[in-house]
C-alpha cells in the first residue's frame, strides 16, 4: 500500500557529519517570522487595551491612541502573512491515522519517550493542532476585529453586535496566546528545533528522533 | 417655579470640585475622597417639554460645538441622531393613547444619563479617559481618550459618539465647568418651561413628586419618575406621563443595565483570560524544570547517518 | 396685551387659539406652565394643527383654518343660552344695557347700509338711541328687545354646536368642552386668559376674530382681573413700541391720527376726536386729545410751533389715502413708487403673492436696505434658480445694502408685548463698518437738508421746520431721544392756585401734566412718565413682587402710567369690593383705590360716581356692540376666507368678508375649490424667528429645511412618502418642500365633505444657512382684513402632489 | 467581595509575571501618572457683562451679554445667556435667543456699505460717503419731482407720495422716533412696520 509523500518542496538531506536536513526555505522562514512578529505585537497591543494593568504596554506603540490605531492594521498584516503560511503548509498538516495514536501517547510525548511514539512525517499531531487552531482563531479574530474597528466599520453593526464581537475577540485572543505559548515552548523544549526556523536546517538526528518518516521519505525519495 | 439659579459672574472662580473628588476613574484604581460631595441631578419633565430645542442650541453655544446643517427627512428631529457635536437631542413620538383616544406628542430630551454605575467607564480601557465625580457627574477627559469606542459598547443608553475628526469620544458633560462654579447646565438654564431643572438629587426627587402629583390629578395614573435602579440610578432623571412604558419615549430602555456581555467581557474574561495565559506560561516553565530538555542523542545522529549514508569516522 | 406675561400665571383656564404660544413665544408660555403647576390651571388649545402648545394642553380641539368666528360665536351662544355669564359685570362694565337704533338690522349675512358697489357700509344706523340730554339710552334690566344684550342673544343664536361642527369641523364634544371650561370662569372667583397672535389677525375677518374673544372675556367678566384679559402675543421684539410710535401710514405717536385732506386746520382735525362722554361722569380720556397733539407738535417743530401757526399743523404731510402694506405694494406694482427704504424689513418674504412683490420691487428706481444681515429682499434682483428666478440685467433698480449694528451693539428702550418698556445696554462695538439706524437716518436727513439749503427745491419750509436740536446732530443719543418721547415742561407749569407744579425744563411725570397751549412738549403721551423727573424708568431693575401676583411694579415701566393690568377698576364690583378674595386686585378702601397696581383713573374718585373702567371709551364701559367703529359690522359674523373649500354654509351667496378691500387684479387670481381642494395655513416654527434665523447657524442646524405638514390620510391619498419632496401650488405660484407626514393633522368633515389641510412653515427663503426654498408667500392671496388690512396668510387654497425622486 | 479582591490581587501577580517584569523595568509605568486637566476652564472669566434684551420676539427676554476685546481691540461678544433677574424670562431663552450669538456673527452679517448698479449681477463695496451722498441725491431728485405742497383745493398737504419706508419693528423706540421724524419730515405717507405682517 502506498502512503502520501510527506515532503515539502525544498526539503532535502545532505549526508555528512552530522547529517543536515533542509526543513524550511528562506521564503517560508521570512513568512513565518513576519507572522510571528505581528502576532507578538498584536498580543502586546491587544493586552494593553484588554486589561488596565497592562495599559502601560501602549507606550511601546507610542501611546493609547496610536495603539488603538495600529492594532487593527497589524491584524491585517498577520492575516495575510498567515494566509501565506497556510497555503505552504496545509497539505502536510492534514490529519493522519498515526496522529491519533500519537495524541493517545501524549504522556510519552511530554516525558520525551519519543521511541515509544509512532513514526511521524514532517509534522506531528501537536504541530498540526497548533496549525489548525491558529488558522481558525485568526479567522475568528479578523472577523470580530473588523466589527469593532471603530474608525472604519462602526456604522455597519449594532451596538449589541459590537458587544458580542468584542467578547469573542477577547476570548479568541486569549486562546491564541495560549496556543502561541505552547508553540514557542515546544520549540524551546525540543532542542534543535529553533534552527529550523532560523537557519532552515535541522540535524539528521533531530529528524530521526522527531520526524522519522519524513527523514526516511526524504532519503528514499533521494535514492 | 423652581427657584432660578443666580446669574453667572464675569470673573474667575475657583472650581467647587475637581480631581480630588473622583470616585471612579476608568482603567485605574483610585482612593476616593473620604467625604462624598452632595449628589447633583438634572430632572427632565417630559410633561412640561414643548420640544423647542432651546436645550440643543444652548448646549452647542456653551460648549462651542459646531454642528453641520443637515436636511429634513420628514421628521422634526434635527440633527437626526446624537453626534460628536450634538450632545443632546429632542426626540419626538406621536402616540395615540388607546385609553383616552387622544393624540399625545411625547417629546424626550435625549443625552447622557450620568449613571451612578456608568457602563462607559466600566468598558473604557484608557486610564482616566472617563471619570466620575463624587457629585455624580460622569465626564470624558479628552486628553486621555484613545478613541477605541469601548464606551459606546458599555453604555446602556447608546449615548457616546466617536469623532471622525479627532477620534475622541464625546457626550454631555452635565456642563461640569458650569456646575463647578455653582451654575446649572446650559440646557437647564435655557429651558423656557422649566421642563429641565437642576439641583441636588434629593431636591430633584422632591420636585418630581410634586410634578407627578399634578400629572396624576390630570388623569395620568401611571405618571412617575425614571431613575433606573439597573444602573444604580442616574443623575439625569425623567418625569414621564407613562412611567410604566418608558419604551414609548423614542425607545427609552425599560430597565437599562450594563449589558451582561460587557460584564462578562470586563469581568470574568479579563481575569480568567490572564490566569489562563499565566497558567500556560507557568506550566511550560515547570515542565521544563521537571522533565528537562528533549535532546537529540548521538545515537539519533548515527541512525540518521546510517539511513542517509555518508562517511563515518 | 391687556395683562402681562407674568400675570398669565394667575389664570385658572388658559385658552390658546389663533396662536401657538409654546412655539412662537416659548419663554412667555412659561407662565402657562406656571399656572398649571401652581394653580392646577387647565390649558385648552384650538388650532387646525396639533401644535407644540397642544402637546402640553389638557384639551385640544381641531378646527378648519379661517372659521374661528364660527367657533367663538358658538361659545358666545353657549354662554348666553345657558346664562353662563357674570351678570353684574356685564351690566355695569359693558354696553349690554345700551339701546340700539331701530333702523339697525342684520339679515342674510349683511348689516343695514351695505353698498355692494363700494364693498362698504353706511354705518349711520349702527348707533345707540340718544336721550335728549345727549346721553345714550340704557336699560339696566337688559330686557328691552333693542338692548345690546337681547340683540346679541338673537344674533348668535344660529351658532349652535351642530352648526359650529358643520362649519369648523370641530367635533361637537370637543367644542362643548371648550365652551364649558370657558364658562367655568364666569364666576368672579376664577379667571381665564385668552392668548392669540397672527392666527387670528391674518384673516380677511381678523378684527372680528378678536372681537369675539373680547366679547367672551367680557361676558365671563375676565377683563381687568388677574389671570384674565385678551392677550395679543406680538411678533417682533419692539413691534409694540414701533406701533406706539406710529410708523404706520395713518398714525402719529401715541395713537394720534395723521391729518387728512379733509382736515385743513388743526381744529378741524381735533374736533372730530375730542369724544364727549355718553354717560354722566365718564372720563372719555380722548377729551384730552388736543393736549397730546399740541405737545407732540411742540416736540416735532420745537420753538417754530406757535399758537399762531397752529403749532406747525400746516407743515404736516396730509393723508390722501391710507397706504397700508398691501396698498403700498399695489401702488409700487403700478410703477408709481420711486424708492423704498427697508429698515430691518424683508418684504419679499413677508408680503403676500411673491410674484407681485418681485414685479413691484423691479419697478423701483432705488432700494435702500438697512439691516444687520443680508435679506432676501436686498438680493431680489439676484437669480437663485427656481427659488428666485429673475434676470438681473432686466432689473434697473439701484440697490444700497447698508450695514447696521445688531442688538448687542446699541442701547435704547424696548416695549414688549405687554407694554412693558425695558432698557437695553450696549455690550459690544459696532461690527466692522456698521452704524446705528439713528446715525444713518440723521446723516441722510442732514445731507438732504444741506442739498436744499444749497440748491433749494420743493417743500423746503416743512423740511426746515423740523426741530433737530441734539448735542451731536449727526448722532442723537438714545438718552436724548428717550427724553423727547416722555416730554417736558417748556415753562413753569402752575396749578389753579398758581403753585409751580413742574419747573421749566423738567421732565413730565405723567401725561396728566400735558397742556394744549404749547407750554409742554412730548412725542408720545402714552409713554410720559417712563423718563420723568426721577430718571429713566425703563432702566429700573427692582424685581420684587410684594403682592405675589406677578406685578413687578418697579421693573421697567409699563405704559400707560406704569399700569400693569389695564381696566383694573373692573377687578372690583360696582361698590369697589373685589369680586372675590381669589381675584382680589384693585379695590376701594373707603378713601381711595388701592392695590398692587396703578388704578385706571384718579384714585380718589369714589365708586358711587360709577366712573367706568374703560376710560378710552365715551361710554366708560366696554363695547359688546361696536357701533360704527369697525368696517364690517358691530357684531361678528362667520364669513368664509376668500379662498374656501366650501360656500358659506350660513350665507351661501356671500364670498369672503363683504367689507374687505380687494384690488381688482388680485380678485382675478383667487383660486377655487375645484382646482385647489386643500386648505393651507402658514405658520412660524419655534426653531426660527421670522426670516432672520435662516441666517443663524445654530437655528439652521436644528431646523434646516422647508417642509410641508400633512395628515397620514392625505399622504396616502396622494401616495406621498414621508421625507419625499412635494410640490404645493396655488393660483399664484408653487413651492417645493419635504413632506412631514403626521398624526397631528387630520382631515375634517365640513358641511358633509372631507376637507384636507396642509401646514406651511414660513421661515425659509433663498438667503442664509438653511437650505434654500421659495418663500411660502409665493402662494398666499393678496387680500387683507376689512379693518386692519392684515393679509390673509392663514387660510387659502392649494393643491399638493409628490415630486418624483428619492426620499431624503 | 473579598473573593473578588483576592482574585484581583492574584491577577496583578500573573499580569506582572507574564510581561511586566521586563517591560516594567524599562519604565513604561509612568504613563499612568500623566493625568489630564479634567474640567474645562470657566469661559466667562475675563469677560465684561452687559444687560440686554432678546432681539427676536415681543416677550423681550432679558439677556446677559458677555464680551471681551478682540485682536483689533474692539469689544466683541463671546457668550449670551438669559438674565435670571428678569421677571419675564427668569434666565430662560428659546432656541432663537439661546443662539443669538450666531446671529451677531452670522455669515450673512453685512460688514460694509454695498452698492448694486442698475442691471448689475453683483454688489460692490463702497464708502459710507458714496452711499449716503448718492441716496441723498436720489431722494432730493424724486422729492423735487413729486412733492405736493398744496392739493387742488389749495390745502397745504406737504406730501411726498412716491417714496416708501418700511420701518423695522426690532429697532429701539428711540430709533422709531428718529425714523418717524425723518420719514414724515420729508413728507412720506407710505410708511409701514411689521404690525400687520
| Same domain, residue pair B164 and B292 | no
Q: Which residue has the cell 377687578?
A: C571
Q: How far B79 CA lies from chain D's nearest CA (Å)?
A: 14
* Domain hosting residue A46, numbered range: 12-222
- The answer to whether position B256 is within a domain reads no
| Same domain, residue pair C671 and C746 | yes
| Interface probe with D: pick from A56, A60, A174, A178, most Cβ of D within 10 Å | A56
Sorting pLDDT into bands at 50, 70 and 90, what band is A7? Answer: confident
H-helix or E-strand spanning residue C297: helix C289-301
Contact B75 C36 (CB under 8 A): no
Sorting pLDDT into bands at 50, 70 and 90, what band is A105? Answer: very high
Beta carbon pairs, A and B, within 8 Å: 175
Give the pLDDT of residue B32: 87
CA–CA separation, A222 vs C781, rounded Å?
A: 103
The enclosing domain of B121 has a CATH number of: 3.30.70.20
| Same domain, residue pair C190 and C42 | yes
- Residues from chain C that touch B68, judged by Cβ atoms under 8 A, are 701
Residues C755-771: what's their mean pLDDT?
98
- In this structure, of A120-124, C358-362, C774-778, the range with the lowest mean pLDDT score is A120-124
When CB atoms are compared, the residue of C29, C705, C737 closest to B50 is C29
Q: Do residues B34 and D58 lie in contact, with contact meaning Cβ atoms separated by under 8 Å?
A: no
Question: What count of other Cβ atoms lies within 10 Å of the Cβ of residue C103?
Answer: 11
Q: How far A90 CA lies from chain B's nearest CA (Å)?
A: 26
- For residue C730, pLDDT over 70 is answered with yes
Q: What is the pLDDT of residues B137-196, one digit of tens each?
A: 999 999 999 999 999 999 999 999 999 999 999 999 999 999 999 999 999 999 999 999
Q: What is the pLDDT of residues B66-107, one digit of tens each?
A: 999 999 999 999 999 999 999 999 999 999 999 999 999 999
- For residue D27, pLDDT over 80 is answered with no
Q: What is the pLDDT of residues B218-253, one digit of tens each?
A: 999 999 999 999 999 999 999 999 999 999 999 999
Contact B265 A163 (CB under 8 A): yes
Residues C623-631: what's their mean pLDDT?
97
- The answer to whether position C656 is within a domain reads no
CA distances from C559 to B52, C1, C565, D167 (A): 31, 11, 10, 22
Q: What is the pLDDT of residues C652-665, one digit of tens each?
A: 999 999 999 999 88
CA–CA separation, A2 vs A4, rounded Å?
A: 7
The enclosing domain of C773 has a CATH number of: 2.40.40.20
Which residues, 6+ apart, have CB-to-CB distance to B268 below 8 Å? none
- Residues from chain D that touch A60, judged by Cβ atoms under 8 A, are 23, 28
| Same domain, residue pair C90 and C48 | yes
| Interface probe with A: pick from B26, B168, B287, B296, most Cβ of A within 10 Å | B296
Residue C659 DSSP symbol = T
Residue of C nearest to B47 (CA): C56
Residues D104-113: what's their mean pLDDT?
97
| Same domain, residue pair C67 and C215 | yes
The enclosing domain of A27 has a CATH number of: 1.20.950.20
The answer to whether A183 is a known catalytic residue is yes
Q: Do residues C772 and B107 lie in contact, with contact meaning Cβ atoms separated by under 8 Å?
A: no
CA–CA separation, C192 vs C3, rounded Å?
A: 12
Q: Is D106 on the interface with C (CB under 8 A)?
A: yes
- The answer to whether position C798 is within a domain reads yes
| Same domain, residue pair C93 and C209 | yes
- The answer to whether position B213 is within a domain reads yes
| Residue D164: φ, ψ to 5° | -120, 145
Pairing of strands C339-343, C366-371: parallel
Q: Do residues C577 and C570 lie in contact, with contact meaning Cβ atoms separated by under 8 Å?
A: no
CA–CA separation, C674 vs C726, rounded Å?
A: 20
Give the pLDDT of residue C808: 57
Contact A159 B146 (CB under 8 A): no
Count of the separate structural domains present in chain B:
2
- Residues from chain A that touch D15, judged by Cβ atoms under 8 A, are 51, 53-54
- For residue D123, pLDDT over 50 is answered with yes
| Same domain, residue pair C312 and C427 | no
Contact D11 A44 (CB under 8 A): no
* Domain hosting residue C505, numbered range: 239-317+483-537
| Same domain, residue pair B281 and B193 | no
Q: Is A12 on the interface with B (CB under 8 A)?
A: no
| Same domain, residue pair C289 and C346 | no
Sorting pLDDT into bands at 50, 70 and 90, what band is C641? Answer: very high
Q: How far A111 CA lies from chain D's nearest CA (Å)?
A: 25
- Residues from chain D that touch C5, judged by Cβ atoms under 8 A, are 59, 88
When CB atoms are compared, the residue of D32, D39, D45 closest to B18 is D39
Give the pLDDT of residue A220: 84
| Same domain, residue pair C27 and C98 | yes
Sorting pLDDT into bands at 50, 70 and 90, what band is D1? Answer: very low
| Same domain, residue pair C176 and C254 | no
Q: What is the ipTM of this complex?
A: 0.94
Contact B8 D81 (CB under 8 A): yes
Give the pLDDT of residue A54: 95
Q: What is the pLDDT of residues C192-223, one digit of tens each?
A: 999 999 999 999 999 999 999 999 999 999 99
Angle at C338 between CA C337 and CA C342, to 5 degrees: 85
| Same domain, residue pair C456 and C526 | no
E strand residue ranges, B98-252: 103-111, 130-133, 138-140, 161-162, 169-170, 196-200, 224-226, 236-240
Give the pLDDT of residue B310: 56
Q: Do residues C248 and D176 lie in contact, with contact meaning Cβ atoms separated by under 8 Å?
A: no
Give the pLDDT of residue D37: 61
- The answer to whether position A5 is within a domain reads no
More confident site: A65 or A112: A65
Q: How confident is the prediction for chain C on average, in pLDDT?
A: 97
Sorting pLDDT into bands at 50, 70 and 90, what band is C616? Answer: very high
Residues C135-156: what's their mean pLDDT?
98
Sign (positive or negative) of CA dihedral D134, D139, D142, D145: negative
- Residues from chain D that touch B275, judged by Cβ atoms under 8 A, are 10-11, 14
What architecture is domain D48-104? 2-Layer Sandwich (3.30)
Sorting pLDDT into bands at 50, 70 and 90, what band is D197? Answer: confident
**Residue count of chain D:** 197
Residues C723-744: what's their mean pLDDT?
97
- For residue B125, pLDDT over 90 is answered with yes
Residues C494-509: what's their mean pLDDT?
96
Sign (positive or negative) of CA dihedral B88, B90, B95, B101: positive
Percent of chain C with pLDDT over 70: 100
Give the pLDDT of residue B230: 97
- The answer to whether position A38 is within a domain reads yes
- In this complex, whether C and A touch, counting 3 or more CB pairs under 8 angstroms, is no
For residue A118 the three cell numbers come to: 509512532
Q: Is C314 on the interface with B (CB under 8 A)?
A: no
Cis peptide bond prior to C647, omega within 30° of 0:
no
Q: How far C702 CA lies from chain D's nearest CA (Å)?
A: 9
Contact D107 C400 (CB under 8 A): no
The one catalytic residue among A32, A71, A183, A211: A183
- The answer to whether position A148 is within a domain reads yes
- Residues from chain A that touch D27, judged by Cβ atoms under 8 A, are none
* Domain hosting residue B136, numbered range: 19-244
Which residues, 6+ apart, have CB-to-CB distance to C101 below 8 Å? C125, C126, C127, C128, C129
Residues B120-146: what's their mean pLDDT?
96
Provide CATH 3.30.200.210 ranges for chain D.
48-104
Residues C713-734: what's their mean pLDDT?
97
Count of the separate structural domains present in chain A:
1
Contact B49 C739 (CB under 8 A): no
Sorting pLDDT into bands at 50, 70 and 90, what band is D24? Answer: very low
Sorting pLDDT into bands at 50, 70 and 90, what band is D15? Answer: very low
Give the pLDDT of residue B276: 96
| Same domain, residue pair B190 and B297 | no
CA–CA separation, A184 vs A196, rounded Å?
A: 13
CA–CA separation, C121 vs C628, rounded Å?
A: 9
Sorting pLDDT into bands at 50, 70 and 90, what band is B311? Answer: very low
Contact D193 C239 (CB under 8 A): yes
For residue C709 the three cell numbers come to: 405638514
DSSP letters for C199-262 = HHHSSTTHHHHHHHHHHHHHHTT-SSSTT-SEEE--SBTTHHHHHHHT-STTEEGGGEE--BTT
DSSP letters for C18-72 = S--HHHH-HHHHHHHHHHHHHH--EEEEE-SS--HHHHT-SEEE---TT-HHHHH
Residue of C nearest to B50 (CA): C52
CA–CA separation, B125 vs B147, rounded Å?
A: 10
CA–CA separation, B299 vs B305, rounded Å?
A: 10
Residues B18-29: what's their mean pLDDT?
94
Sign (positive or negative) of CA dihedral D81, D86, D92, D95: negative
Give the pLDDT of residue A5: 64
- For residue C559, pLDDT over 90 is answered with yes
Sorting pLDDT into bands at 50, 70 and 90, what band is D141? Answer: very high
- The answer to whether position A51 is within a domain reads yes
| Interface probe with B: pick from A144, A171, A208, most Cβ of B within 10 Å | A208
Q: C560: closest CA among C615, C620, C511?
A: C511
Residues A124-131: what's their mean pLDDT?
96
| Same domain, residue pair C44 and C105 | yes
Q: Is D144 on the interface with C (CB under 8 A)?
A: yes
- In this complex, whether A and B touch, counting 3 or more CB pairs under 8 angstroms, is yes
Q: Which residue has the cell 432672520?
A: C692
Count of the separate structural domains present in chain C:
4
Q: Do residues C31 and C227 lie in contact, with contact meaning Cβ atoms separated by under 8 Å?
A: no
Amino acid at each position: 500500500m502506498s502512503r502520501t509523500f510527506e515532503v515539502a518542496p525544498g526539503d532535502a538531506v545532505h549526508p555528512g557529519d552530522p547529517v543536515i536536513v533542509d526543513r524550511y526555505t528562506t521564503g517560508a522562514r521570512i513568512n513565518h517570522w513576519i507572522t510571528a512578529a505581528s502576532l507578538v505585537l498584536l498580543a502586546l497591543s491587544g493586552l494593553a487595551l484588554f486589561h488596565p494593568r497592562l495599559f502601560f504596554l501602549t507606550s511601546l506603540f507610542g501611546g493609547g491612541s496610536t495603539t488603538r490605531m495600529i492594532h487593527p492594521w497589524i491584524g491585517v498584516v498577520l492575516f495575510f502573512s498567515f494566509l501565506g503560511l497556510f497555503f505552504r503548509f496545509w497539505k502536510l498538516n492534514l490529519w493522519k491515522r498515526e496522529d491519533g495514536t500519537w495524541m493517545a501517547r501524549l504522556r510519552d510525548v511530554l516525558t520525551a519517550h519519543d521511541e515509544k511514539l509512532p513514526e511521524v512525517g514532517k509534522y506531528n499531531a501537536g504541530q498540526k493542532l497548533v496549525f489548525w487552531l491558529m488558522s481558525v482563531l485568526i479567522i475568528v479574530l479578523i472577523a470580530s476585529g473588523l466589527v469593532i474597528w471603530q474608525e472604519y466599520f462602526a456604522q455597519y453593526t449594532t451596538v449589541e453586535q459590537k458587544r458580542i464581537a468584542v467578547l469573542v475577540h477577547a476570548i479568541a485572543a486569549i486562546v491564541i496566546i495560549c496556543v502561541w505559548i505552547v508553540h514557542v515552548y515546544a520549540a524551546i523544549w525540543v532542542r534543535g528545533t529553533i534552527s529550523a526556523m532560523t537557519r532552515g536546517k535541522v540535524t539528521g538526528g533531530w529528524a530521526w528522533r522527531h520526524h522519522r518518516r519524513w527523514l526516511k521519505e526524504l532519503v528514499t525519495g533521494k535514492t | 417655579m423652581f427657584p432660578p439659579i443666580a446669574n453667572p459672574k464675569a470673573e474667575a472662580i475657583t472650581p467647587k470640585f475637581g480631581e480630588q473628588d473622583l470616585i471612579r476613574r476608568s482603567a485605574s484604581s483610585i482612593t476616593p475622597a473620604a467625604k462624598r460631595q452632595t449628589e447633583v441631578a438634572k430632572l427632565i419633565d417630559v410633561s412640561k417639554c414643548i420640544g423647542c430645542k432651546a436645550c440643543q442650541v444652548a448646549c452647542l453655544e456653551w460648549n462651542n460645538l459646531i454642528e453641520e446643517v443637515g436636511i429634513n427627512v420628514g421628521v422634526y428631529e434635527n440633527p437626526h441622531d446624537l453626534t460628536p457635536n450634538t450632545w443632546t437631542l429632542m426626540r419626538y413620538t406621536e402616540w395615540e393613547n388607546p385609553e383616552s383616544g387622544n393624540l399625545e406628542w411625547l417629546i424626550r430630551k435625549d443625552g447622557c444619563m450620568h449613571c451612578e454605575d456608568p457602563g462607559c467607564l466600566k468598558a473604557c480601557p484608557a486610564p482616566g479617559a472617563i471619570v466620575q465625580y463624587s457629585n455624580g457627574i460622569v465626564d470624558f477627559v479628552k486628553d486621555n481618550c484613545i478613541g477605541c469606542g469601548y464606551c459606546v459598547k458599555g453604555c446602556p443608553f447608546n449615548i457616546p459618539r466617536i469623532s471622525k475628526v479627532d477620534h475622541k469620544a464625546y457626550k454631555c458633560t452635565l456642563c461640569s465647568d458650569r456646575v463647578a462654579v455653582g451654575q446649572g447646565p446650559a440646557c437647564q438654564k435655557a429651558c423656557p418651561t422649566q421642563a429641565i431643572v437642576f439641583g441636588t438629587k434629593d431636591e430633584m426627587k422632591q420636585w418630581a413628586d410634586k410634578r407627578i402629583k399634578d400629572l396624576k390629578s390630570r388623569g395620568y395614573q401611571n405618571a412617575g419618575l425614571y431613575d433606573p435602579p439597573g444602573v444604580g440610578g442616574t443623575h439625569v432623571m425623567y418625569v414621564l406621563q407613562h412611567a410604566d412604558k418608558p419604551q414609548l419615549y423614542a425607545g427609552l430602555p425599560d430597565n437599562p443595565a450594563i449589558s451582561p456581555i460587557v460584564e462578562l467581557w470586563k469581568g470574568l474574561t479579563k481575569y480568567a483570560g490572564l490566569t489562563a495565559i499565566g497558567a500556560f506560561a507557568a506550566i511550560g516553565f515547570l515542565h521544563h524544570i521537571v522533565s528537562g530538555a528533549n535532546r537529540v542523542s548521538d545515537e539519533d545522529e548515527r541512525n540518521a547517518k546510517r539511513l542517509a549514508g555518508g562517511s563515518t569516522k | 396685551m391687556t395683562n402681562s406675561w407674568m400675570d398669565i400665571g394667575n389664570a385658572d383656564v388658559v385658552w390658546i387659539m389663533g396662536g401657538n404660544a409654546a412655539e412662537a413665544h416659548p419663554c412667555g408660555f412659561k407662565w402657562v406652565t406656571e399656572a398649571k403647576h401652581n394653580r392646577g390651571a387647565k390649558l385648552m388649545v384650538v388650532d387646525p394643527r396639533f401644535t407644540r402648545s397642544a402637546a402640553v394642553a389638557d384639551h385640544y380641539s381641531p378646527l378648519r383654518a379661517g372659521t374661528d368666528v364660527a367657533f367663538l360665536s358658538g361659545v358666545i351662544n353657549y354662554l348666553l343660552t345657558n346664562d353662563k355669564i357674570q351678570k353684574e359685570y356685564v351690566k355695569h362694565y359693558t354696553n349690554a344695557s345700551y339701546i340700539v337704533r331701530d333702523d339697525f338690522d342684520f339679515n342674510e349675512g349683511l348689516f343695514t347700509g351695505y353698498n355692494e358697489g363700494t364693498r362698504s357700509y353706511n354705518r349711520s344706523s349702527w348707533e345707540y338711541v340718544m336721550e335728549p340730554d345727549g346721553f345714550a339710552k340704557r336699560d339696566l334690566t337688559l330686557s328691552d328687545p333693542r338692548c345690546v344684550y337681547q340683540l346679541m342673544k338673537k344674533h348668535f343664536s344660529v351658532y349652535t354646536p351642530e352648526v359650529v361642527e358643520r362649519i369648523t369641523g370641530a367635533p361637537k364634544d370637543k367644542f362643548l368642552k371648550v365652551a364649558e371650561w370657558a364658562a367655568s370662569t364666569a364666576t368672579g372667583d376664577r379667571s381665564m386668559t385668552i392668548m392669540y397672535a397672527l392666527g387670528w389677525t391674518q384673516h380677511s375677518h381678523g378684527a372680528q376674530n378678536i372681537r369675539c374673544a373680547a366679547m367672551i372675556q367680557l361676558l365671563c367678566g375676565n377683563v381687568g382681573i388677574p389671570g384674565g384679559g385678551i392677550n395679543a402675543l406680538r411678533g417682533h421684539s419692539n413691534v409694540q413700541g414701533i406701533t406706539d410710535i406710529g410708523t404706520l401710514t395713518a398714525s402719529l405717536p401715541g395713537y394720534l391720527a395723521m391729518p387728512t385732506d379733509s382736515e385743513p386746520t388743526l381744529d378741524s382735525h381735533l374736533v372730530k376726536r375730542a369724544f364727549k362722554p355718553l354717560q354722566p361722569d365718564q372720563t372719555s380720556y380722548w377729551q384730552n386729545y388736543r393736549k397730546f397733539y399740541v405737545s407732540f407738535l411742540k416736540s416735532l417743530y420745537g420753538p417754530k410751533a406757535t399758537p399762531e401757526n397752529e403749532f406747525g399743523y400746516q407743515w404736516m404731510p396730509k393723508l390722501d389715502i391710507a397706504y397700508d402694506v398691501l396698498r403700498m405694494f399695489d401702488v409700487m406694482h403700478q410703477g408709481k413708487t420711486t424708492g423704498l427704504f427697508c429698515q430691518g424689513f424683508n418684504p419679499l418674504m413677508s408680503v403676500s403673492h411673491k410674484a407681485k412683490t418681485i414685479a413691484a420691487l423691479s419697478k423701483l428706481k432705488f432700494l435702500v436696505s438697512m439691516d444687520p444681515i443680508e435679506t432676501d429682499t436686498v438680493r431680489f434682483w439676484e437669480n437663485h434658480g427656481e427659488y428666485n428666478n429673475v434676470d438681473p440685467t432686466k432689473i434697473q433698480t439701484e440697490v444700497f445694502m447698508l450695514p447696521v449694528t445688531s442688538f448687542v451693539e446699541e442701547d435704547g428702550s424696548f416695549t414688549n408685548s405687554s407694554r412693558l418698556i425695558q432698557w437695553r445696554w450696549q455690550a459690544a462695538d459696532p461690527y466692522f463698518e456698521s452704524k446705528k439706524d439713528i446715525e444713518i437716518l440723521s446723516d441722510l436727513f442732514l445731507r438732504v437738508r444741506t442739498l436744499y439749503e444749497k440748491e433749494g427745491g420743493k417743500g423746503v419750509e416743512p423740511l426746515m421746520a423740523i426741530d433737530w436740536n441734539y448735542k451731536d446732530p449727526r448722532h442723537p443719543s438714545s438718552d436724548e431721544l428717550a427724553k423727547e418721547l416722555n416730554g417736558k415742561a417748556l415753562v413753569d407749569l402752575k396749578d389753579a392756585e398758581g403753585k409751580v407744579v413742574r419747573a421749566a425744563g423738567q421732565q413730565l411725570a405723567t401725561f396728566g401734566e400735558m397742556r394744549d397751549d404749547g407750554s409742554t412738549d412730548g412725542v408720545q403721551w402714552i409713554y410720559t412718565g417712563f423718563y420723568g423727573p426721577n430718571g429713566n424708568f425703563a432702566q429700573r431693575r427692582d424685581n420684587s413682587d410684594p403682592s405675589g401676583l406677578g406685578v413687578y411694579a418697579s421693573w421697567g415701566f409699563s405704559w400707560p402710567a406704569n399700569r400693569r393690568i389695564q381696566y383694573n377698576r373692573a377687578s372690583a364690583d360696582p361698590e369697589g369690593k373685589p369680586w372675590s378674595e381669589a381675584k382680589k386686585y384693585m379695590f376701594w378702601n373707603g378713601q381711595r383705590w388701592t392695590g398692587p397696581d396703578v388704578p385706571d383713573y384718579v384714585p380718589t374718585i369714589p365708586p358711587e360716581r360709577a366712573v367706568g373702567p374703560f376710560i378710552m371709551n365715551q361710554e366708560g364701559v366696554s363695547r359688546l356692540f361696536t357701533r360704527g367703529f369697525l368696517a364690517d359690522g358691530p357684531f361678528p359674523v362667520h364669513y368664509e376666507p376668500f379662498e374656501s373649500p366650501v360656500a358659506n354654509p350660513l350665507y351661501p351667496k356671500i364670498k369672503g368678508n363683504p367689507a374687505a378691500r380687494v384690488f381688482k387684479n388680485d380678485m382675478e387670481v383667487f383660486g377655487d375649490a375645484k382646482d385647489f381642494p386643500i386648505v393651507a395655513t402658514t405658520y412660524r416654527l419655534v426653531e426660527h424667528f421670522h426670516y432672520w434665523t435662516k441666517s443663524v447657524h445654530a437655528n439652521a442646524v436644528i431646523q434646516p429645511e422647508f417642509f410641508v405638514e400633512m395628515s397620514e390620510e392625505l399622504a396616502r391619498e396622494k401616495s406621498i412618502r414621508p421625507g419625499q419632496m412635494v410640490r404645493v401650488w396655488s393660483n399664484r405660484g408653487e413651492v417645493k418642500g419635504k413632506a412631514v407626514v403626521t398624526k397631528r393633522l387630520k382631515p375634517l368633515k365640513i358641511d358633509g365633505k372631507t376637507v384636507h389641510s396642509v401646514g406651511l412653515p414660513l421661515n425659509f427663503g433663498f438667503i442664509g444657512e438653511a437650505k434654500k426654498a421659495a418663500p411660502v408667500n409665493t402662494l398666499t392671496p393678496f387680500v387683507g382684513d376689512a379693518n386692519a388690512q392684515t393679509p390673509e396668510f392663514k387660510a387659502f387654497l392649494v393643491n399638493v402632489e409628490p415630486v418624483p425622486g428619492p426620499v431624503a | 467581595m473579598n473573593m473578588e479582591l483576592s482574585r484581583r490581587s492574584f491577577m496583578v501577580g500573573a499580569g506582572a509575571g507574564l510581561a511586566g517584569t521586563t517591560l516594567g523595568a524599562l519604565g513604561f509605568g509612568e504613563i499612568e501618572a500623566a493625568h489630564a486637566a479634567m474640567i474645562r476652564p470657566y469661559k466667562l472669566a475675563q469677560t465684561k457683562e452687559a444687560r440686554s434684551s432678546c432681539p427676536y420676539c415681543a416677550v423681550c427676554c432679558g439677556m446677559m451679554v458677555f464680551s471681551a476685546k478682540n485682536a483689533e481691540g474692539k469689544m466683541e461678544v463671546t457668550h449670551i445667556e438669559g438674565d435670571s433677574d428678569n421677571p419675564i424670562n427668569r434666565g430662560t431663552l428659546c432656541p432663537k435667543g439661546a443662539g443669538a450669538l450666531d446671529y451677531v456673527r452670522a455669515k450673512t452679517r453685512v460688514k460694509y456699505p454695498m452698492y448694486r448698479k442698475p442691471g448689475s449681477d453683483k454688489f460692490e463695496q463702497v464708502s459710507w460717503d458714496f452711499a449716503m451722498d448718492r441716496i441723498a441725491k436720489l431722494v432730493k431728485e424724486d422729492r423735487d419731482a413729486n412733492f405736493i405742497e398744496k392739493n387742488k383745493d389749495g390745502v397745504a398737504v406737504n406730501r411726498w407720495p412716491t417714496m416708501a419706508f418700511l420701518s423695522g419693528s426690532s429697532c429701539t423706540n428711540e430709533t422709531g422716533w428718529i425714523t418717524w421724524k425723518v420719514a414724515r419730515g420729508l413728507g412720506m405717507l407710505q410708511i409701514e412696520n411689521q404690525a400687520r405682517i
